[in-house]
Each structure stands twice: as structure tokens, then as C-alpha cells.
Amino acid sequence: MEQRLTIVGLGVADLKVSTAFYEENFGWKKMDTNNEGISFFQLNGLLLSLYPREKLAEDAGVASEGSGFKAFSLAYNTRTKEEVDALIEQLESKGVTIVKKPEEVFWGGYSSYISDPDGNLWEIAYNPYLPIDEKGNV
């Protein structure tokens, strides 16, 4: 198996609400391959898909119930600490839930956490050990 990730799929409670969250708050654009049952966003080298939680669970053959900490987070890394602050300020002004304000962290970086409508955690971070290129790749 090649060392790569193709799609991060999130099971969501309300597809329209979650799609609007990423479009309106992050400024992301859906791909043309979307339909009324799924939303795809092309990121730098992989896709983010949003799909109804119950249907995703059914497809995998597992129960859809569950709450609390999901034991994973998604991350958006920035090129500077100032970019973290500016992005968090912008998201907060749009009503996005800020879980943790930006702060210096034990590993030498600077990070904050936000939550999407389904409680998925996004770390917004500056990591001086992982520079970001002009295309947004580590």
C-alpha cells in the first residue's frame, strides 16, 4: 500500500449546514462532482468529503450513534503565528466556535482549535518545524 491519503470523509448531521460552514467560514469551493447527497472540496492533494452521518455508518456497516471526543482532529497549518491569530479572529467574527484560543504550545509551535457544526476539531496552527510551501503543502 502506498503511503498516501486520498479522502478525509466526515459523517455529518446536516449536509447543507456543514457544506455551508466550509463554504461561508473557510471560503472553500465545492467541486463540480457534488450532488445533493455528498459534498466534495478539493484540498491540496486530497479531498474532504461531507456525507450524511447515518448513510456513512450504514455504508461502513457500523452504528451511527456516538458523541463526545472523536479521538482525532484535522489541521490547517499556517506560515506564521500572526496568520493563526488573524484566521481565528476572522472565524470568531463569523460565529465559529473557538474551542481553544491561540497560544504557544509545548512542542514549540502556536495553535488554536475550532469546532465545525458536528464537533469535529480543527487545529489552526503554526509549526516552525513543518514549513508550508506556496501550494500549501508541508
Amino acid code (one letter) for 50: L
Q: How far is CA 74 from CA 50, 85, 88, 104, 121, in A?
A: 14, 18, 15, 19, 6
pTM: 0.88
Kind and range of the H or E element at 121? strand 121-126
CA distance 107 to 88: 20
* pLDDT score at 122: 96
Query: CB of 91 within 8 A of CB of 25?
Result: yes
In this structure, what DSSP letter does residue 30 have?
B
CA distance 103 to 61: 40
Per-residue pLDDT at 46 exceeds 80: yes
- The larger pLDDT score, comparing residue 137 to residue 16, is at 16
Mean pLDDT for the stretch of residues 101-120:
95
Kind and range of the H or E element at 23? helix 15-25
pLDDT, tens only, 67-97: 777 778 999 999 999 999 999 999 999 999 9
Per-residue pLDDT at 25 exceeds 90: yes
Query: CB of 40 within 8 A of CB of 29?
Result: no
* pLDDT score at 135: 87
* pLDDT score at 70: 78
- The larger pLDDT score, comparing residue 4 to residue 66, is at 4
Q: How many residues does the chain have?
A: 138
* pLDDT score at 117: 96
* pLDDT score at 68: 74
